[in-house]
Amino acid sequence: MNPRKIVVLTGAGVSAPSGLATFRSLGGLWEQHRIEDVASPEGWARDPGLVLRFYNLRREALATAVPNDAHRAIADLQDRFEVVVITQNVDDLHERAGSRSVIHLHGELRKVRSTADEATVEDIGYTSVALGQVCAKGGQMRPHIVWFGEDVMHLDEARRHIEEASRFVVAGTSLAVFPAAGLVRYARDKAEKVVVDLDPPAVSGGFRVLRGSADVVMRGLASEWLGSGKVR
At a CB cut-off of 8 Å and minimum separation 6, what does 156 contact?
none
Coil vs helix vs strand at 162: helix
Return residues touching ligand OAD (CB under 6 A): 11-13, 16-17, 22-25, 28, 39, 88, 106, 146, 172-174, 176-177, 197-199, 201, 213-214
List Cα–Cα distances, 200 to 73, 149, 164, 196, 197, in angstroms. Answer: 19, 26, 24, 7, 5
Minimum separation from the CB atom of position 184 to ligand OAD (A):
12
Give the residue closest to ligand OAD by C-beta: 13
Q: How far is the CB of 24 from ligand OAD (least distance, A)?
A: 4
Task: Give me the active site residues, please.
Answer: 106
Instruction: Label residue 102 exposed, middle or buried (CB < 10 Å: 0-12, 13-18, 19+).
Output: buried
- Cα–Cα distance between 133 and 148 in angstroms, integer? 23
- Looking at the Cβ atoms of 11 and 67, the one nearer to ligand OAD is 11
What is the C-alpha to C-alpha distance for residues 106 and 95, in angstroms, rounded to an integer?
15
Q: How far is CA 205 from the centre of its chain?
A: 22
What 8-state DSSP symbol labels residue 186?
A: G
User: Minimum CB separation from ligand OAD for residue 82, in Å?
Assistant: 24
Shortest Å distance, C-beta 91 to ligand OAD: 10
Which of residues 95 and 134 has its CB atom nearest to ligand OAD in the complex?
Answer: 95
Q: Which is nearer to ligand OAD, 80 or 201 (CB)?
A: 201
Q: How many helices (H) and strands (E) does the chain have?
A: 9, 9
- Number of alpha carbons in the 13 Å side-chain half-sphere of residue 205: 19
Among residues 16 and 141, whose Cβ is nearest to ligand OAD?
16
Please check whether residue 141 is in contact with residue 114, taking contact to mean a CB–CB distance below 8 angstroms: yes
Nearer to ligand OAD, 183 or 191 (CB): 183
Closest distance between ligand OAD and the C-beta of residue 27, in Å? 11
